[in-house]
Structure formats: C-alpha cells, structure tokens
A and B are shown apart, each in its own frame.
Chain A
C-alpha cells in the first residue's frame, strides 16, 4: 500500500548538488542525500513543498500539468482560486483575470470563491451541531496538512472535519453542470485547477479527501502567471462575462489567505495557524488534548495560507495585501451582514453537499520500525545504542537530517555508521595510529637494501 502512495514533489538529479538544505527543512524527515543526490522517501512525503522553497539550486520541483494538457479535452473549465486573484492588485477586476484565462484557451471559468461560500456554510453548521466529540475540529482545506495528519498524527483523523475542500466540491459541481449544459460526456470535459502548491496537484492524482475527484489536473500558478499577465494587458472583458460566471462573495475570496476560512464560517472560538512548523507544533498540542477549549482550527502548511504556496509568482505578503484590499472593495457592493453577503455568492443550482462525496482520511503512520512489535523493540534498543555513539550535533553531513534519523537508518540497514564523518574520522585516526605503532615494531636486526643504500649515502655526504 505504502509504495503506491503518490507524491508530486521530485528531485531533478542533475541540478542537485547534494547540499542538505531540503533534508534539514523537511517537516516529515522524508529526504536523505545518498551518493551526493537528494532522495525522497515516498511514504513520508506530504507534498508541502518546503524543499522546493529551500533548495538553492532549484533541484526540487513537482509534477504539474501544462496548458497543453488541456488539448486532450474538447471543453475546458478552469477553477480560478483566490490565491490567483491575489497575484494581481485589487484594482485589476476579476473580470479582467477571467477574460485573460479565456484568452489562454479555457472555455469557461468557475470562481472558486463560490465554492468557498458553500463549504463555509457546511463548516459553520458542522461546528454548531458538534457535540461530545474531541475538540478542536480541524479544517480539511489544506491537503498537505491532511497528509501530515495521516503520517504523523493519525490519532487526530477523527477530528478532521468531514467536508470537501472548495476545489474538489467545485469540480464535482462544474463537471455535472457543464456536461448537462453543453450536452457533453464526462470524459470530454476537463476541469482544471490553477494551483499555488504541489499538494493540491497530488490530491488530483491520489485524493485524500474526496472519493472520486472530478479534476483533470492542476497547472501551477507560477507557470501561467507570465503568459496570463501578458494577455491580460489587452484583455477587455466580454460584455456579459460576469453573467456567465458563478461568482463567490468576498467571504469566499477570503479563503486564499489566513483566517479567511474562519471568517467565512463566522467562527469565533477558532484560530488560524500557517507554516508547516507551526502547524506541526499545534497538531502536537491538539494531540495532547491541550487545545480542547478551542472549537475549530484552520491550518495551512504554507506561511500566510494559500497565497504563500511554493508555486505562486509574487511575494506572499504582497499577495495577502492584494487580497485584503480586493475583499474590502468587494464588500462595498455586498450586504453588510456576513450571512447575507455569503448567501450572495451562493447561486449554484444543486451544489454538492460533502457527505455524499467526502472520504475518511486513511492513517499512514510512518514511524513504525517493524511490523512485528518484538522486532521493533530490538531495533529501538539498537537504535538507542547507535545514537549514543553519534556526536548528537545534527550536522546533516551524513545525508540524514539529524543523528536520530541516521541511527534509525543504520538500524534499518539503509546507512552505515561510517556515514557519520565524526565516526569516520575517529576510525581513520585509530587506523593511522595503528600504522604508526606498527612501523615502530620493525625488528632492529636488519634493514632493507634500499634503506641501507640510503643510509650509506647519507653517511658519505
């Protein structure tokens, strides 16, 4: 099962110079440098993209689709996410961005903020009706966080809210709707997500939250940003463009950055955490029942939320500012009250409800040393012994992120003690000392001919 786990991130071996930047920053300790090149341990990778961000030689990247992939379909719909809007100043109207997407070849646009409005309503209802179970309820919006929970915090699976991510819900709606409207069979319609991160792309290949994804693929925001900007320069929105697009409210747009999901769901006793190391810390706290007086936590693997994804084109802080200003502008033309405003973004006929499609997360614990607990105990004890021989400075020179990981790799037969340069050095030293000692133990009764000649020559001169 574990081998079939797909992740999008991969190493461009030619570009990798074997430094350990990615190894050091990987939150699940999923990378090792072996034979001078980074290698990803598939079962541990959660596709957060932290390595993509950290790699100085751009050797880390992820599988995504390109615009050419849309040619396989006769009708293509693009899901335009708030994080995409955030790449442009608030003064650039959504209509212009949509028109630009049309000029790139998409037949239809679905504003993902509309799905955000629907899902926010589901979250609000779920949290309000939640009784008895463990708290806090954990957001299901970020697929990298869901994967982190699968591999590192499987005990928290039951606390993850059983609602779809807006993207998956939108894809289900769009596919059904477009097929009916255009009288096309399902395989002719391609629904595309313009993604700020590799994790959302992986979700399409192997979904963690939806039973059967309706997305055809994902295209990275960074890869189309240049072209989109170029065509947008001359884009004049078609007259009735807005009427042809289901548009979400400002609350739906808010999902793109931190706190947006909570604001759209109107939750007060809730908190928002972004950045994978902070998310990790909070999940640890939740696991220890230390946050059980909080109702809901919104967790995003990227700093500042989706606007901070590894595949976004512009600086995340600027993007966040752009999005905030856009929300403010949109709010001027919306009802004052949140529920009424959100309702204004919910105009889809028959938008799917999560319970028909959502999948329960599957645990994928990665820490286990062996299937057999008795063998695992032996390995754990051996690991402890090995760890005591290591310097404990977590230098990373062995290719593992820290001494503990190296000890684990050694016990699992994946590394050698001499991969540690300190152990290697002390072995070399011992070896060298042994040689010197041996050289002093040459019997004094005789010298070799060569030595004798040399001595004679020295005496003569």
Chain B
C-alpha cells in the first residue's frame, strides 16, 4: 500500500506530522517496533529537510509485507556538494531555523544510519529526491 503526505514549506507548527502519520500506519500494520522507530526517525529528518530547505515537498511511503520504502521529494534548491552534506554536523540551515533548535546538521547521515539502504538524487535548482529502504526483519 501507499501513503502520501504533503510537507508544507516553513510551517514549523506542522513539523513532524508526516512522519507521525507514517509511524502510526506502520504500528497499525504490526511492523516491529524497532523498525517503526527507525522509519519514523529517518522520515522525520527527510520531512524537516524538505520543510526547512526546500519550501516543502512530498513524502511517500510504499509498504509491502516485508519492506517499507520512503521517498522524500522536493523542488528545492538541490544540494551542490552531497559529500559535504553527508558529513555529520554540516548544515546550511539559516540562523532563525537554528534558533528554533533545528538544523544542527546530521540530517542526511542520520537518514543513512537508520535505513537499510539510502540513496540521494539531487540537482541544483531542480530539487532533491531521497529514498530510504527499510526491511521488516
């Protein structure tokens, strides 16, 4: 099955809604708790990136009996240097976002860490697509 969530750009009041709804769905499906937790954390990072940097985006969860694939797609500025963005602690978040406690870096490496397979497709000025794969062991 497929779950699609719109991520609004810069709306911090709604930050985390998409990942929360995907988390709830996986719990209802009986996916093991630890995997649900990893999906939720990875999705949340993707959601925040789309919200902070890209003026919003779309999150899609494709769920089968033994696999969840999360894609986070945005039409934002893209990432010029992916290698650098993958380093822990690197962030381009503006000051006002950091003041709210977000944007401390870690987003991309965190997504890679919690998923079983991670890929990123980004084009400057076009957008970014992140795919995370989670096996329901």
Query: Chain B residues near A377 (CB, 8 Å)?
Result: 1, 29, 63, 65
A97 to B25, CA, bound (A): 52
Q: Could you say which residues of chain A place their CB within 8 Å of the CB of B41?
A: 288-289
Residues of A within 8 A of B1 (CB): 377, 380-381
Asked if residues B37 and A369 are in contact (CB atoms below 8 Å), the reply is no
Number of A interface residues in the complex (CB < 8 A):
21
Task: Kindly identify, within residues 32 to 81 of chain B, every residue whose CB is under 8 Å from any CB belonging to chain A.
Answer: 33-34, 36-37, 40-41, 44, 63, 65
B40 contacts A365, CB within 8 Å? no
Inter-chain CA distance A155–B35, complex, in Å, is: 9
Residue pair B34, A155 in contact (C-beta under 8 Å)? yes
**In chain A, residues 328-383, which have Cβ atoms closer than 8 Å to a Cβ of chain B?**
363, 365, 367-371, 373-374, 376-377, 379-381, 383
CB-CB under 8 A from A369, the residues of chain B are: 28-30
- A287-B40, A380-B1, A380-B25 known; A374 and B33 CB under 8 Å? no
A288 to B27: give the CA distance in the assembly, Å.
Answer: 14
Which residues of the other chain, B, contact A105 by a CB distance below 8 angstroms?
none
A266 at the interface (CB under 8 A from B): no
Question: Which residue in B16, B24, B30, B136 is a CB contact (below 8 Å) of A365?
Answer: B30
Contact B30 A371 (CB under 8 A): yes
The answer to whether the Cβ of A237 comes within 8 Å of any Cβ in the partner chain is no
Residues in chain A near residue B63, CB distance under 8 A:
377
- Summarize B's interface: helix, strand, loop or mixed: helix
Quote the shortest CB–CB distance from A17 to chain B (angstroms).
32
On chain A, the residues within 8 Å of B132 by CB distance are: none
Within 8 A of A (CB), among B1-33: 1, 16, 24-25, 27-31, 33
A275: chain B residues at CB < 8 Å are none
Give the residues in chain B near A381, CB-CB below 8 Å. 1
* A380 close to B28 (CB less than 8 A): yes
Q: Size range of the interface on B? A: 10 to 19
Complex-state Cα separation, A113 to B40, whole angstroms: 40
- Docked Cα-Cα span, A371 to B25, in Å, equals 14
Name, among B1, B44, B63, the residue most crowded by chain A CB atoms within 10 Å (CB to CB): B1
Q: In angstroms, how far is the closest chain B Cβ from the Cβ of A445? A: 57
- Are B44 and A288 in contact, with the CB atoms below 8 A? yes
On chain B, the residues within 8 Å of A289 by CB distance are 41
Instruction: Closest A residue to B29 by CB, please name it.
Output: A376
Asked if residues B40 and A368 are in contact (CB atoms below 8 Å), the reply is: no
Assembly CA distance A365 to B36 (angstroms): 12
**Smallest beta-carbon distance A381→chain B, Å:** 6
Per the bound structure, the CA–CA distance linking A377 and B16 in Å amounts to: 23
B33 touching A373 by the CB < 8 A rule? no
Which residues of A lie under 8 Å from residue B136 when comparing CB positions?
A: 373
Most A CB contacts (10 A, CB to CB) among B16, B29, B136 go to B29
Select B65's contact among A287, A368, A374, beta carbons within 8 Å.
A374
A367 and B24 contact, CB distance less than 8 A: yes
Smallest beta-carbon distance B14→chain A, Å: 15
**How far, in whole Å, are A237 and B63 apart by their CA atoms in the complex?**
68
- Report chain B residues within 8 Å CB of A368: 27-30
- Note all chain A residues with C-beta closer than 8 A to B34: 155
Among the interface residues A363, A373, A379, A383, which one has the most CB atoms of the partner chain B within 10 A?
A373
Q: Which residues in B have their C-beta under 8 angstroms from that of A374?
A: 65
B27 and A365 contacting across the interface, CB-CB below 8 Å = yes
Query: How far in angstroms is the closest Cβ of chain B from A373?
Result: 5
A383 proximity list for chain B (CB < 8 A): 28
* Contact among A155, A371, A380 with B37 in the assembled complex (CB-CB below 8 Å): A155
Complex contacts, B25 vs chain A, CB 8 Å: 380
Complex interface: chain B residues within 8 A of A363 (CB): 33
Chain A residues positioned under 8 Å from B37 (CB to CB): 155, 287
A288 touches B29 (CB 8 A): no
Bound Cα distance A399, B109 (Å): 45
Assess whether B30 is in contact with A373, with CB atoms less than 8 Å apart.
Answer: yes
Q: How far is the CB of A378 from chain B (nearest CB, A)?
A: 9
Interface residues of A in 242-273 (CB under 8 A from B): none
Residues A367 and B27 in contact, CB atoms below 8 Å apart: yes
A370 to B34, CA, bound (A): 18
Cα of A363 to Cα of B28 in the assembled complex, Å: 15
Q: Give Cα A363–Cα B34 distance, bound, in whole angstroms.
A: 11
- Asked whether, in the complex, the Cβ of A155 is within 8 Å of the Cβ of B33, the reply is yes
Q: Which residues of B contact A367 (CB under 8 A)?
A: 24, 27-28, 30
Contact B30 A154 (CB under 8 A): no
Closest to A287 in B: B37
Could you say which of A154, A367, A369 has the most chain B C-beta atoms within 10 Å of its C-beta? Answer: A367
A155 touches B29 (CB 8 A): no
Residue of A nearest to B40 (CB): A288
Across the interface, which residues of A come within 8 angstroms of B30, CB to CB? 365, 367-371, 373, 376
**A residues less than 8 Å from B36 (CB atoms):** 155
A154-B33, A367-B24 are known contacts; what are 15 more A-B pairs with Cβ within 8 Å? A153-B33, A155-B37, A288-B41, A288-B44, A289-B41, A365-B27, A365-B33, A367-B27, A368-B27, A371-B30, A373-B65, A376-B29, A376-B30, A377-B63, A381-B1
Residues of B within 8 A of A (CB): 1, 16, 24-25, 27-31, 33-34, 36-37, 40-41, 44, 63, 65, 136
9 A-B pairs with the lowest CB-CB distances in the bound complex, closest first: A368-B30, A155-B33, A367-B27, A155-B37, A154-B33, A376-B29, A373-B65, A377-B1, A369-B28
Q: List 7 A-B contacts (CB under 8 A).
A: A288-B40, A288-B44, A368-B29, A373-B29, A373-B30, A374-B65, A380-B29
